[in-house]
Amino acid sequence: MINAYAAFESGGELRPYEYEPVELTAEEVDIQVEHCGICHSDLSMINNEWGASQYPLVPGHEVVGVITAVGDNVADITVGQRVGLGWHSDYCFSCGSCDDDDHNLCASAQGTIVGRHGGFADKVRVHYQSVVALPEGIAPASAGPLFCGGITVFNPLVQYDIKPGQHVAVIGIGGLGHLALQFLRAWGCEVTAFTSSDSKQAEALALGAHHTINSTDKQAVKQAARRFDLILSTVNVSLSWNSYVEALKPKGRLHFVGATLEPLNISAFGLISAQRSISGSPVGSPATIKQMLAFAAEHKIAPQIESFSFDRVNDAIQHLADGKARYRVVLHR
């Protein structure tokens, strides 16, 4: 029996929920959950914002825990090992994306909390290739958010072969942005933080930014013309995107990891005149998660978290929903 917390209807409070998992297959492992981050997408799923929620819904896809069982065909993962689990918990392993080690782009990839039960529980059962071992130097208590928020901002650096010395900006200094600043600084980039919050400017500098620009100051954004190789947007509000396109160098890229629901009203001329791109990406593949963890351990990069015990899960959710998290909320036993 698995003891979990579930929402029983859209927007509902979480309540204790017990369920019997289906039998462990040869490729599955059990993780005894020690810590689980709360991500904005947990809120979106609880509230059925994407129309993909099934109730009872057990949220939680930033899991850190210990392996307690492994199926017969499981390789590399052993009982007693401490691992993490992110947004995906299974892949098809046969499509072009899986063949290319881009499992995160597999059209049949299974979301850990989409039609399955997630990590707000004492145990979660998933495909062994979706879990990644925690290396030495990564603190289990704060590692959870690396597996969704962290990999989401780290992955573009790998995908687009960002080089030390390049000029990179981050829009939005929150759960994702505060990790992006740390990664970029350690990656050797010249780092600028765009934030609408004056109070976050000093924090952004402390997290690794060399410069800050107020994202609501249109003149300041304009003055940054042709300055950045990459701008990473972590926000879910609409900004004057064409000003940010103009802030890109020739061949620069405005990359979205935060999704605004409103369409991006991009001028084709801004792209054409200087061979610029706009793009987006979801989380990363298990291989890139592994690379991120090694990099984070080497450079002592960690999520800044606020910790709540599992029995205060509803308080923790409310804290995040109120926009008060500095910067990421994690549940612990």
Q: Which residues bind its own copies (CB under 8 A)?
A: 96-97, 102, 105, 107, 159, 226, 249-251, 253, 256-257, 259-260, 263-282
Three-state SS across 298-313?
Answer: HCCCCCCEEEEEHHHH
Strand partners, 282: none
- The helix or strand, by DSSP H or E, that contains position 227, with its residue range, turns out to be none
> Could you tell me the smallest distance in angstroms from the CB atom of residue 105 to its own copies?
4
Other Cβ atoms within 10 Å of 129 Cβ, number: 21
> Could you tell me the smallest distance in angstroms from the CB atom of residue 284 to its own copies?
10
> Could you tell me the smallest distance in angstroms from the CB atom of residue 104 to its own copies?
8
Residue with tokens 């297959």: 25
CB of 249 or CB of 290, closer to its own copies: 249
3-class DSSP state of 314: helix
**Residues with Cβ within 8 Å of residue 158, at least 6 apart in sequence:** 284, 288, 291
Residue pair 30/123 in contact by the 8 Å Cβ criterion: yes
> Could you tell me the smallest distance in angstroms from the CB atom of residue 158 to its own copies?
11
> Could you tell me the smallest distance in angstroms from the CB atom of residue 43 to its own copies?
17
> Could you tell me the smallest distance in angstroms from the CB atom of residue 270 to its own copies?
8
CB of 206 or CB of 237, closer to its own copies: 237
Residue pair 83/146 in contact by the 8 Å Cβ criterion: no
3-class DSSP state of 112: coil
Residue pair 160/119 in contact by the 8 Å Cβ criterion: no
Using CA atoms, how far apart are residues 282 and 159, in angstroms rounded to an integer?
12
CB of 84 or CB of 270, closer to its own copies: 270
> Could you tell me the smallest distance in angstroms from the CB atom of residue 139 to its own copies?
29
CB of 184 or CB of 245, closer to its own copies: 245
Using CA atoms, how far apart are residues 293 and 289, in angstroms rounded to an integer?
6
> Could you tell me the smallest distance in angstroms from the CB atom of residue 221 to its own copies?
18
Tokens of 230: 């990459």
- The helix or strand, by DSSP H or E, that contains position 250, with its residue range, turns out to be strand 248-256
CB of 139 or CB of 158, closer to its own copies: 158
CB of 206 or CB of 259, closer to its own copies: 259
Using CA atoms, how far apart are residues 34 and 91, in angstroms rounded to an integer?
24
- The helix or strand, by DSSP H or E, that contains position 196, with its residue range, turns out to be none
